[in-house]
Structure 1
Amino acid sequence: MYEFRDLKEVSYCELVECFNKAFSDYEISIVLNEKAIKSEMKRNGVDRSISCGAFYNNKMVGFIMNCRGIYNDEVSVFDFATGVVPEHRGKHVLGEMVKFVEERIKSKGIKKYYLEVLKNNEKAINSYKSKGFDFEREFAVFQFDKSDSEDINQNCDSIKTDSFENFKSEVLKVEVDVPFSFEYNKTNLDNNIEDYEVVYIKDGAEVFSYIIYMKENGRVAKIAYSQKEDIVVLIENLINRYGKVYIKNVDTKYEELINVLYSIGFKYIVGQYEMSKEV
C-alpha cells in the first residue's frame, strides 16, 4: 500500500535517490547529487510543506516538489519537479500525489498552480489535462556551444556589467520585455540575488536592452531589448565569457528573438508547454 506525505522530514539522500531513479529513462539526461539537488531546491524556492512524496513499504518511489512565488502578479505554485520510479508508474501514484498537494495549496489560500511538460510527452500531457490543467504558453530551449563555432569578434563600448542587486536601481526603457518563466520569477531572483548579474546597454541615464544571467555559468534568466542588434551584442558578450550559453523557456510568440538566436548559431534543444489550473 502506498503512503503519501509532505517532504518536510525527507532527507536529501532519499530525495536524490528517488529523483535519479525517476528520471533514469527521461528524454533529457538528468542526474543529481545531494549538493546539486539542495542547491536547485533552494534556488527555485521549493516549499516542502506543499510538496509530496509517495512511499511504498517506507521507500520513496515518487515525488512532487512545488515552489511558491510571485508570478503573473499573484502568489502561485509551480511544480518544479515530478517523478515516479518506473516500476511504480500506472498505479495511480501521480494522481494521488496531485490530490495531496492541491489540498495543501488550497489550505494556503493559493489559487493558481503551474507546471511545465515536454511537448512530445503526450502521455504526461493527457494525464495533466485529465486533472484540469490547460495550456498557457509554449516554450523553446536553446543552447550555444562556442567549441562548435568560429570565434566571435565582439566589441561594444556601450556594454556594461553589474550585479543584479545594483542593476535594480537602473531606469529601464525597453521596447520588448520577454516574460520570465516561473523558474526566474521575481521571488526566486530576489531570494538568490547574489547569484545573478546583468549585462546591459545604457544610453545616458536609461537602459535600453539587458540580459539577466547566472554569474556561475552564464545561464540566461531574462531578456529585454529595444533593438534586436542589441541582443546580438549582449549574447555575444556572454558567449565570449562563458563559451556555452543556455537559454531556457523562450516564449515561442517572440519570433524576432528566436530568429536572432538562430542567426547567432544557437541550437534548438527541446520544446515545452507551460500548463496551469485553478485550485
Structure 2
Amino acid sequence: MKIKTVSQCTLEEVLKAWNKGFEGYFVEINMTAEMFLHRLVGEGLSPTHSIVIFDQDEPIAIVLNGFRIVNGKKTAWNGGTGISPDYRGKGVSRLLMEEALAIYEREQVEIATLEAIKENKVAIALYEKYGYAISNQLLFLSGEYEGEFEHTARIHIETIRPEQLPHFPFYQEDVPWQCSWQSVKQGEAKIFYNDDNKALGYMLYKTVWNDSGEVERILLYQLEILEDRHQNLLPNFLESVITCPVQMTAVNFLANNPATSFLIKNGLKVTTEQVQMKKQF
C-alpha cells in the first residue's frame, strides 16, 4: 500500500476514495465532484495535508484534514475518514490514524478534533486508542419550527457578517468545526442587545431560498444566549429571521445548549447524534 496527499491525486481518484470510503456507513456521504470541491474549500480543508491510501493503483481510503487557530492554539480537524468496505478491519484505519497524527506533529498542532457518529463504537474506540477523548455530545436537529411569532420583549438587533463575530469578546470560538464562522462565510450573523446596549446573545445561520424566492429552510450553526436567565428570549432571536412556520436544521448543536432543548420543544427532532472528540498534544 502507498500513501499520497490529495494534492498528488487526480480528482477522480480522490472522489472514488471518498465515495467508496463512506459506502454502507451510518450516514452515507456520496458526493459529486462539485460537492466535494465545495466541501474542501468551504470547510478550509488542506489538499497537501489530507491523504489517500492506494492498494496498487486503487484508491481505498481517505482522511481529510484542516487547520485553524482556535483560542490562540493551532487546531486540526479530521474532516472525514473513510475506508472502502473490502478493506475494513484489515489495519487500514491504523495506517490512516498514524499518518494523520504524524502530519499533526509536523504541523505543530496543539489540539486535534473530530466528530464521530455516536453509534459508531468501533471508530470511537479507535480514536480513544490514539489519545482522543469525548468532549461534547452533539445533535443534528431538523423539522418545522412551530414556535409562536408574537413576542414583545424589547431587543435590538445588529446584523453583521460572520467574519466579524470573532471581534466581539463574548463570541465562543471553541465550537464544532462546521459551526465556526470560517465555515459559514456565506451565511449571516445577528447580535441581540437590550435597551442598555448589553449583548444578550447571537446567532449564526444561513437562509436557503427556493426557485420561487421563498424561504425553503433556515440552517442554524450557532444560537447562543449569554446568560441562562435570558432563555425566554430565544423566540425573539429566531423571529429576527422568520415570521411563520419554516423548515429548520440545527447543525451539531451541543446537547446541553438551552437552545437545543428549546428547538426540540418547538417542532425539531433529533436526526443524528454525534460525539465531539479532542486530543491534546
Shorter-chain TM-score category? 0.7 to 0.9
Superposition map of 1:171-210 within 5 A: 180-185=175-180, 188-189=182-183, 193=185, 195-204=186-195, 205-210=197-202
Return 238-247 or 164-173, whichever deviates more. Answer: 164-173
Partner of 1:126: 125
Partner of 1:220: 220
8 A contact 1:134–1:276 mirrored in 2: yes
Which segments of 5 or more consecutive residues in structure 2 lack a partner in the other structure? 209-216
Q: 1:170 to 1:278 in 2, by over 3 A?
A: closer
Q: 1:7 to 1:229 in 2, by over 3 A?
A: same
Q: 1:262 to 1:19 in 2, by over 3 A?
A: same
Q: CA deviation at 1:55?
A: 0.7
1:260 aligns with 2:266: no
8 A contact 1:178–1:222 mirrored in 2: no
4+ residue segments displaced more than 6 Å:
169-174
Return 12-21 or 55-64, whichever deviates more. Answer: 12-21
Return 57-66 or 70-79, whichever deviates more. Answer: 70-79
Q: How far, CA to CA, are the matches of 1:6 and 1:140 in structure 2?
A: 32
Q: How far, CA to CA, are the matches of 1:203 and 1:5 in structure 2?
A: 54
Q: How far, CA to CA, are the matches of 1:44 and 1:242 in structure 2?
A: 30
8 A contact 1:71–1:182 mirrored in 2: no
Q: In the comparison of the two structures, how many residue pairs are matched?
A: 268
| Equivalent of residue 271 in structure 1, options 256, 270, 273 | 273
Return 128-137 or 57-66, whichever deviates more. Answer: 128-137
Q: 1:210 to 1:112 in 2, by over 3 A?
A: closer
| AA in 2 matched with 1:64 | V
Q: 1:165 to 1:125 in 2, by over 3 A?
A: closer
8 A contact 2:115–2:275 mirrored in 1: yes
Which segments of 5 or more consecutive residues in structure 1 lack a partner in the other structure? none
Partner of 1:233: 236
Q: CA deviation at 1:168?
A: 4.1
Return 100-109 or 202-211, whichever deviates more. Answer: 202-211
Q: 1:273 to 1:10 in 2, by over 3 A?
A: same
Q: How far, CA to CA, are the matches of 1:71 and 1:237 in structure 2?
A: 29
Q: CA deviation at 1:212?
A: 0.7
Cα RMSD over matched residues? Answer: 2.9
Q: How far, CA to CA, are the matches of 2:167 and 2:4 in structure 1?
A: 45
TM-score (norm 1): 0.83
Q: CA deviation at 1:58?
A: 1.4
8 A contact 2:166–2:173 mirrored in 1: no
Q: How far, CA to CA, are the matches of 1:60 and 1:29 in structure 2?
A: 18
- Offset from partner CA, 1:74-129 (integer Å, 9 cap, x none): 11101011100111111111111111121122111113211111111111111212
Q: 1:3 to 1:166 in 2, by over 3 A?
A: closer
Q: How far, CA to CA, are the matches of 1:103 and 1:242 in structure 2?
A: 49
- Offset from partner CA, 1:202-241 (integer Å, 9 cap, x none): 3344442221112446322222224222222333554558
Q: How far, CA to CA, are the matches of 2:235 and 2:265 in structure 1?
A: 9
8 A contact 2:160–2:189 mirrored in 1: yes
| Equivalent of residue 253 in structure 2, options 250, 253, 256 | 250
- Secondary structure of the residue aligned to 1:42 is helix
Return 4-13 or 235-244, whichever deviates more. Answer: 235-244
> What's the % identity of the aligned pairs?
15
- Secondary structure of the residue aligned to 1:5 is strand
- Offset from partner CA, 1:155-175 (integer Å, 9 cap, x none): 66856463415864996779x
Q: How far, CA to CA, are the matches of 2:61 and 2:142 in structure 1?
A: 30
Q: How far, CA to CA, are the matches of 1:166 and 1:8 in structure 2?
A: 28
Q: CA deviation at 1:138?
A: 1.4
Q: CA deviation at 1:201?
A: 3.0
Partner of 2:142: 143
- Secondary structure of the residue aligned to 2:6 is coil
Return 229-238 or 60-69, whichever deviates more. Answer: 229-238
8 A contact 2:157–2:192 mirrored in 1: yes
Q: How far, CA to CA, are the matches of 2:36 and 2:133 in structure 1?
A: 28
